Amino acid sequence: ATVTFTFRESVTGFGTEDIQYDTSKGTLSALTAVGTDGKVWSATYTPSSGIESANNTIRVNLAGVLDAQGNAGTGSASSGNFSIDTKPPEVTVTISDERLTAGETATVTFTFRESVTGFDLNDVQYDTSKGALSALTAVGTDGKVWTATYTPSSGIESATNTIRVNLAGVQDAQGNAGTGTSTSGNFSIDTKPPEATVTISDNHLSAGETATVTFTFRESVTGFGTEDIQYDTSKGTLSALTAVGTDGKVWSATYTPSSGIESANNTIRVNLAGVLDAQGNAGTGSASSGNFSIDTKPPEVTVTISDERLTAGETATVTFTFRESVTGFDLNDVQYDTSKGALSALTAVGTDGKVWTATYTPSSGIESATNTIRVNLAGVQDAQGNAGTGTGSSGNFSIDTKPPEATVTISDERLTAGETATVTFTFSERVTGFGTEDIQYDTSKGTLSALTAVGTDGKVWTATYTPRPDTESADNTIRVNLAGVLDAQGNAGTGSASSGNFSIDTRPPEVTVTISDSSLSAGETATVTFTFRESVTGFGTEDIQYDTSKGTLSALTAVGTDGKVWTASYTPSSGIESADNTIRVNLAGVLDAQGNAGTGSASSGNFSIDTRPPEVTV
């Protein structure tokens, strides 16, 4: 503004030192004389910036001013009042909530020092990625106050936030444009739900091991317990939680895998729905540990044999297949009956340590329906160091390297005249190729009928044995030559099988009659001895025939106890003269021990009797 100082008359001594004003509010330039009469001066007044003042004057102290006559002025002369408004618009930004959480909003109030124009949302600056501001609402009609609702974005965690006004586009009633910015106080946003990191100290668990599971939250939380932890309880168990520190951020628990588990894919998860942070934000979703494997399952093996029916000359391949790679497996771990067969050295199949083979050779002369090859797993370990337990067994297999065997029995071990016996040929197993040509016996002593199969299993045959008449034999057998006989497995018999001994006695009793004196005279007696070939029964004096007119026989006396020999005394009658005499035995009523009845008779040798005294005719 131009300030003009107009004196009533010409003056001297007037200078800026005579001018009084508030220099804090503005400055006055040097005086410039207007005209030459010394009455009028002017100066330029420039208000200071940032000044807002309603009452201002510029005064002249007249004491130092002289007119042409030398009169000194007195008092002062003042301009009229003028206002200064060089202060740009200013605004105060406040927010109703300095800690915003999920679901909350805040009222932002923009309060200007004076009425303004040109203020709208374009002048408001904030991080739109963290929240949104509604449209402005004027409060009152004086153009000083506006409000808007601030809604934080979800999933935000930010400790430093402000809402600012760019004043450049705002003007007050005097047209002063705002400069710079005005900002709210700091406020925090936490609409981010609790988050957790789950870690496990060992991601390859084997038998006997445990792992520490650590649950680390991004911030302090409440409401976290074991009920929020999810995992497969069939594969392991988790201990109670232990807080680590006092800030409510970290917990740990011990995980113990179950025994007998083999699982490559395992996690421990936290259901965050029931967990709250300090701002009351509830967690969402879940947080999971990294994958970890469990192998507490001991090594297992499948044992197979390539041939389940082994015969003479055959071998079989035994394959030991483990579920996983193992160490420590050798023949010392293989169990089988070494009396029945032998296993070769093990041969690894491939390089992964899972499969081995060996050749099994059955022993000769073995017939066994129940056989297995087993692995004692106690000394075998998998890659995790789990030791095997128990055994793994092959399926059952049979061994028949035993040639056919036969048992020959005869139904009667003492055959007599008129009797027959059934001969039974019982093989240890089904056979083929068996015929009468395989049977050996003394055909001079008896005959064997054709073979008859008993049943349909090819094990048993019978034949009828008929002894020949007039045969007496204590030692007899019927034998089978097994060389031509085959079992179902093709094993050929060896050697022979024999019946037990049996006797044949189809010969009737026979007796020899001897007399001790073949020339008997008066007063003499003779001993008659009856000697049978074998023990007999039913022999008595009634079986003895002789001429009783010529002599008498005493009762029989047994000699010994074997029933073979008897004696009797023969006493010739007196007055007898006979040249031809015998003592005979009728064998029809005599039986041997086998019940054979004698036939015909047996006679002593001839003997003479002369008990007649001499006679004379004169």
Evaluate whether 531 touches 514 at the Cβ level (below 8 Å). Answer: yes
Instruction: Please tell me the distance from the alpha carbon of residue 499 to that of residue 465, in angstroms, as a whole number.
Output: 12
Residue 488 pLDDT class (50, 70, 90 cuts): confident
Could you report the per-residue pLDDT of 231-241, keeping only the tens digit for each?
A: 999 999 999 99
Flag whether pLDDT at 280 surpasses 90. Answer: no
pLDDT, residue 489, reads 85
Number of domains observed in the structure of the chain: 6
Q: Within this chain, do residues 494 and 563 fall inside the same structural domain, yes or no?
A: no
* Residue 311 exposure: Cα atoms within 13 Å on the Cβ side: 9
Q: How far is CA 576 from the centre of its chain?
A: 117
Residue 241, pLDDT score? 97
Range of the domain at 132: 91-190
97 pLDDT higher than 90: yes
Nearest Cα residue to 192 out of 107, 108, 284: 284
Indicate whether 167 belongs to any domain: yes
| Alpha carbon distance 185, 549 (integer Å) | 174
Give the C-alpha separation, 141 to 312, whole Å. Answer: 118
Instruction: Note whether 310 and 291 are same-domain residues.
Output: no
Same domain, 477 and 420: yes
Clarify whether residues 423 and 383 are in a common domain. no
User: Do residues 144 and 111 touch, judged by C-beta distance below 8 A?
Assistant: yes
Q: Which residue has the higher pLDDT, 516 or 274?
A: 516
Residues 134 and 175 in one domain: yes
Give the pLDDT mean for 206-229.
95
So what's the pLDDT on residue 490? 86
> Bridge partners of 95?
108
| Residues 288, 206 within the same domain | yes
Confirm whether 421 is domain-assigned: yes
Q: 105 and 52, same structural domain?
A: no
Query: 594 pLDDT exceeds 90?
Result: no
371 shares its domain with 385: yes
Residue 492 per-residue DSSP state:
B
Q: Strand 19-20 vs strand 32-34: parallel, antiparallel, or unpaired? A: unpaired
Q: Is the pLDDT of residue 585 over 90?
A: yes
240 and 180 inside one domain? no
Residue for token digits 């010739």?
572
Kindly state whether residue 364 falls inside one of the protein's structural domains. yes
Does residue 65 lie within any of the structural domains? Answer: yes
Q: What is the pLDDT of residues 315-341, one digit of tens each?
A: 999 999 999 999 999 999 999 999 999
Q: How far apart are CA 567 and CA 570, in angstroms?
A: 10
Residue 617 lies in a domain: no
Residue 593 has pLDDT above 90, yes or no: no
Instruction: Say if residue 595's pLDDT is above 90.
Output: no
Q: Is residue 616 part of a domain?
A: no
- Say yes or no: 146 and 210 in one domain: no
- Give the angle subtended at the CA of 262 by the CAs of 260 and 292, to the nearest 5°: 125
CATH of the domain at 319: 2.60.40.10
Structural domain contains residue 618? no
**Would you state the pLDDT for residue 384?**
86
Handedness of CA 126, 131, 134, 139 (dihedral sign): negative
Q: Would you state the pLDDT for residue 602?
A: 97
Question: Given a cut of 90, is residue 503 above it in pLDDT?
Answer: yes
The residue among 158, 190, 222 that closes a domain is 190
Q: Give the domain-ending residue among 295, 327, 350.
A: 295
Region 8-17 average pLDDT: 95
Distance CA 386, CA 600 (A): 96
C-alpha closest to that of 268 among 207, 200, 206, 210: 200
Interatomic CA distance for residues 477 and 440, integer angstroms: 9
- Other CB atoms within 10 A of residue 400 CB: 23
The CATH number that applies at residue 582 is 2.60.40.1220
Looking at residue 205, what is its pLDDT?
94
* Residue 274 pLDDT > 90: no
CATH number for the domain that contains residue 415: 2.60.40
User: Cα–Cα distance between 577 and 168 in angstroms, integer?
Assistant: 193
Same-domain status, 320 and 359? yes
Give residue for tokens 């007039």. 470
One domain, residues 53 and 116: no
pLDDT for residue 383: 87
Mean local confidence (pLDDT), 79-100: 95
- Look at residues 155, 190, 225 and tell me which one is the last residue of a structural domain: 190
For 117-167, the pLDDT digits (tens) are: 999 999 999 999 999 999 999 999 999 999 999 999 998 999 999 999 999
